[in-house]
Amino acid sequence: MKDSKKTKPGKPGTATAPAFQLRLYVAGKTEKSLTALNNLKRICETHMAGQYRIELIDLLLTPQLAAGDQILAVPTLVRRLPEPIKKIIGDLSNEERVLVGLDVQPLRD
């Protein structure tokens, strides 16, 4: 897995940064890492469409980046913005827990 940045733009032609800047720390292409990434993408598209940016950091390729966000376990999701910084450890399969951890209100049916 390479370090990659994925930006979900807001409205075309706007220069505003996404409301949510997220970093997902993983260690290679493990089942848990892939599950976490897929769960994060699904949650973001469902509850934050157009308002987020995901930065994927593979610590097998760049282990020195773990120190900056004090990463002790993987996968770990770090919400960089809006402040305060928040962290969620695990495969992000519990959508309600992820939404609470990110301070995102779930969409009502």
Q: pLDDT tens digits for 66-104?
A: 998 999 999 999 999 999 999 999 999 999 999 999 998
Q: Domains in the chain: how many in total?
A: 1
- Is residue 11, in this structure, part of any structural domain at all? yes
Structural domain contains residue 77: yes
108 belongs to a structural domain: no
pLDDT value at position 108? 59
Q: Phi, psi (5° rounding) for residue 47?
A: -115, -10
Cβ–Cβ < 8 Å for 79, 20:
yes
Note whether residue 29 is domain-resident.
yes
Above 60 in pLDDT, residue 11?
no
Check residue 107 and give its pLDDT: 61
- Kindly state whether residue 50 falls inside one of the protein's structural domains: yes
Neighbours of 25 (CB within 10 A): 25
Domain span including residue 40: 4-102
The enclosing domain of 23 has a CATH number of 3.40.30.10
Assigned domain for 109 exists: no
Q: Distance (Å, rounded) from C-alpha 99 to C-alpha 106?
A: 7
Residue 107 lies in a domain: no
25 touches 68 (CB < 8 A): no
| Adjacent-strand bridge partners of 57 | 25
